[in-house]
Chains A and B, each alone.
Chain A
Amino acid sequence: MKKTILALASVAALAGPVQAQTYPARPVTMVVPFAAGGPTDIVARIVAEHMSKTLGQQIVVENVAGAGGTTGITRAAQSKNDGYTIMMGHMGTHGAAPALYANLKYDPTKDFEPVGMAAGTPILIVAKKAFPANNLKEMIAYLKANPDKVNQAHAGIGAVSHMTCVLFNSQVGIKPTAVPYSGTGPALNDLVSGQVDYMCDQIVNLVTQIKAGSIRAYAIASAERSPALPDVPTTKEAGMPEYEVTAWNAIFAPKGTPKEIVTALSSALDKALDDAPTKARLLELGGVLPSAKERGGEWLGAFVVKEVARWTPVLQASK
């Protein structure tokens, strides 16, 4: 490790005072557009910790919450593109935001230099304990048969639990009564006590309730079963392969950030994802890590274009 640093330092010295070679010369700010302690913040902090080691400079996480994450991303997108401000984008800020916020001040597909996918958490379809269905097929049948009776909870317009369930409902072909809550906590509370019937949300928020048997899980919307909940079938196994959703988190830099810097960040991120303890911490959260082909900025750039194209029509139709 020391040797590589020495080697890098000597290369940098030979190359002269070009900014990119000495990058980073001071701490890097990573804007997280959600409050401290939330799922995105946790992923950001775990990844940033290891990236700081590789880069030799601290990555300071700055939480700028507001408007479904778009406040923080707007600010980061407009900051200096010298590599000292980067951000943790998210399925909402870089996928759904164009459809949800009419006066969005950035374009997810154009205003960023994608650095790489960090980690995502798969979505689960859950229902109250007393829900009269034994598997996903029966659940969907019940939803279709009782469109006026069922209540679906979500944590506010633009929340992961809102948009993933909009997608689910549109694929199933129903329009249930949606009950908005101010957060996942209160929504989950009413699901446990049976005030509402079902919801979709990230696995992290639901694992304990499912294990304790206070709510039922019908399917997990990822390609493989989660080690945290090995008994819950994937949507593919349960007969709804088209519903595959992960609440992803990825690092972006402002448009025009020098290529060398983006590459340096990208490889630091990859190193973090390959580091065994970091990996283990992310997996413990029920997270999914990007596979070899899902690494790097180029793949992420193409992925964002696909995500925007996927969410825009669904969310606009739900308005």
Chain B
Amino acid sequence: MTDHLSVTEDKKPPGLVRSSQNLGAGLFLMAIALFAFWQAQELPRGTLNAMGAGMLPQSLAAFLFIGGLALALSGLLVKGEAMERWSLRGPIFIFGGIILFSLLIRTCGLVIAGPVAMIFGSMASDEFNWKEATVFALILTGICILLFKVLLRLPIPVIGAMLEPFFPF
């Protein structure tokens, strides 16, 4: 697996763009602003004197759009930094690991969710090795159970609903 997958072209930006980072940033904000505005459009705006629920979300989204536009324009006009490379390995494994945790914690419990999330997450590193990651994940899960469940008595499911039939007590 390659370490860094290049998402954006790392060549010299085309003549018009003087800071691909700012252009990207501006477009990103504009997209968020448009999405928020679309989501909030049905809320009653009210008047300045009697604000409705939609007044703030809509006007903030509008300001954000203007900010994004200014940023994007500055990316075209003012020289600045170019877009950095984006890696895929880190986000996929880290966020994937967290998502696995959230899917497994109530169904299978911490005994499964802990090691699975940690081993999967560990793969984000280029120094990953199965044996070390597995041993470490199991030990840490044990520590977590001891700390959160035994000492602090948090209502965190150690053995989830799906595994309960196998552990009657």
Q: Which residues of A are interface residues toward B (Cβ below 8 A)?
A: 25-26, 29, 60-62, 80
Could you tell me if A25 and B161 are in contact, using CB atoms closer than 8 angstroms? no
Q: Which of A25, A60, A61 contacts B168 (CB 8 A)?
A: A25
Taking CB atoms, residues of chain A closer than 8 Å to B153 are 60
B166 an interface residue at 8 Å Cβ cutoff?
Answer: no
Taking CB atoms, residues of chain B closer than 8 Å to A61 are 155
Q: From residue A254, how far is it (CB to closest CB) to chain B in Å?
A: 13
Interface of A is mostly: strand
Q: From residue B148, how far is it (CB to closest CB) to chain A in Å?
A: 13
Q: From residue A56, how far is it (CB to closest CB) to chain B in Å?
A: 14
Cα separation A62 to B169 with both chains bound (whole Å): 20
Cα separation A61 to B155 with both chains bound (whole Å): 8
**B167 nearest in chain A by CB position:** A26
Taking CB atoms, residues of chain B closer than 8 Å to A62 are 155
Cα separation A29 to B160 with both chains bound (whole Å): 13
Cα separation A145 to B153 with both chains bound (whole Å): 56
Q: Digitize B144-159: 1 where CB-to-A-CB distance is under 8 Å, 0 elsewhere.
A: 0000000001010000
Q: Given A25-B168, A25-B169, A26-B169, is A60 in contact with B161 using a C-beta cutoff of 8 Å?
A: no
Taking CB atoms, residues of chain A closer than 8 Å to B155 are 29, 60-62
Taking CB atoms, residues of chain A closer than 8 Å to B169 are 25-26
Taking CB atoms, residues of chain A closer than 8 Å to B161 are 80
Cα separation A29 to B154 with both chains bound (whole Å): 11
**B155 nearest in chain A by CB position:** A62
Interface residues on B, range: under 10
9 sampled A-B residue pairs with Cβ under 8 A? A25-B168, A25-B169, A26-B169, A29-B155, A60-B153, A60-B155, A61-B155, A62-B155, A80-B161
Cα separation A244 to B155 with both chains bound (whole Å): 37
For the complex of A and B, list the 6 residue pairs with the smallest distance between their C-beta atoms, beginning with the closest: A62-B155, A60-B155, A26-B169, A29-B155, A25-B169, A80-B161
Q: From residue A216, how far is it (CB to closest CB) to chain B in Å?
A: 30
**A27 nearest in chain B by CB position:** B155
Cα separation A62 to B168 with both chains bound (whole Å): 21
Q: From residue A95, how far is it (CB to closest CB) to chain B in Å?
A: 25
**B156 nearest in chain A by CB position:** A62
Cα separation A104 to B91 with both chains bound (whole Å): 36
Sample of 7 more A-B contacts, CB < 8 Å, known A26-B169, A60-B155: A25-B168, A25-B169, A29-B155, A60-B153, A61-B155, A62-B155, A80-B161
**B153 nearest in chain A by CB position:** A60
Q: From residue B18, how far is it (CB to closest CB) to chain A in Å?
A: 45
Of the listed residues B155, B168, B169, the one surrounded by the most CB atoms of chain A closer than 10 A to its CB is: B155
Q: From residue B163, how far is it (CB to closest CB) to chain A in Å?
A: 13
**A30 nearest in chain B by CB position:** B155
Q: From residue A103, how far is it (CB to closest CB) to chain B in Å?
A: 16
Taking CB atoms, residues of chain A closer than 8 Å to B168 are 25
Q: From residue B161, how far is it (CB to closest CB) to chain A in Å?
A: 7
Q: From residue B162, how far is it (CB to closest CB) to chain A in Å?
A: 11
Cα separation A80 to B155 with both chains bound (whole Å): 17
Q: From residue B1, how far is it (CB to closest CB) to chain A in Å?
A: 39
Taking CB atoms, residues of chain B closer than 8 Å to A60 are 153, 155
Q: From residue B169, how far is it (CB to closest CB) to chain A in Å?
A: 6
Cα separation A25 to B153 with both chains bound (whole Å): 18
Taking CB atoms, residues of chain B closer than 8 Å to A29 are 155
Taking CB atoms, residues of chain B closer than 8 Å to A25 are 168-169
**A26 nearest in chain B by CB position:** B169
Cα separation A29 to B106 with both chains bound (whole Å): 13
**A85 nearest in chain B by CB position:** B161
Cα separation A144 to B161 with both chains bound (whole Å): 57
**A29 nearest in chain B by CB position:** B155
Cα separation A287 to B161 with both chains bound (whole Å): 36
Taking CB atoms, residues of chain B closer than 8 Å to A80 are 161
Q: Digitize B119-159: 1 where CB-to-A-CB distance is under 8 Å, 0 elsewhere.
A: 00000000000000000000000000000000001010000
Cα separation A29 to B156 with both chains bound (whole Å): 11
Cα separation A25 to B169 with both chains bound (whole Å): 7
Q: From residue A232, how far is it (CB to closest CB) to chain B in Å?
A: 36
Q: From residue A28, how far is it (CB to closest CB) to chain B in Å?
A: 11
